[in-house]
Amino acid sequence: MSHPARIEIIKHLSASNSCCCREVVDRFDLAQSTVSQHLKILVEAGLVRFEPDRQRSRYAVDRAALAEISASLGALVDSCCSGR
C-alpha cells in the first residue's frame, strides 16, 4: 500500500463490483504495465481478488480483508492513544 497509486486503485475498485485492468488504466494516467504491477502487488497482499475470465480478467476489492485491516488499525490507534 506504500504507493499512492495503489490507494487510488483500491478506491476505484471499491466504487464498483469489479474492473478489468484496462478500465483502471483508462481511469488513471499510468501505463498498462504499471497498473498491472500495482494490481499484482495488491492481489499478493490479499487486498484485491483476481477473477480470471475468458475475455478479460477482473479485479475486485476483498472487502473482508479491508474490514479486517480497518479493525486492526482501529485497535492499534485505540491502544496507542487511550492513555492520553
pLDDT at 83: 63
Domains of the chain: 4-81 (1.10.10.10)
The amino acid at residue 56 is R
pLDDT at 29: 87
Residue 67 grid cell? 474490514
Q: Please tell me whether the overall predicted TM-score, pTM, comes out greater than 0.85 for this model.
A: no
Q: How many angstroms separate the CA atoms of 12 and 10, rounded?
A: 5
The answer to whether residue 74 scores a pLDDT higher than 80 is yes
Q: How many angstroms separate the CA atoms of 21 and 33, rounded?
A: 10
Taking only the tens place, the pLDDT of each residue in 7-63 is 999 999 999 888 999 999 999 989 999 999 999 999 999 999 999 888 888 999 998
pLDDT at 70: 78
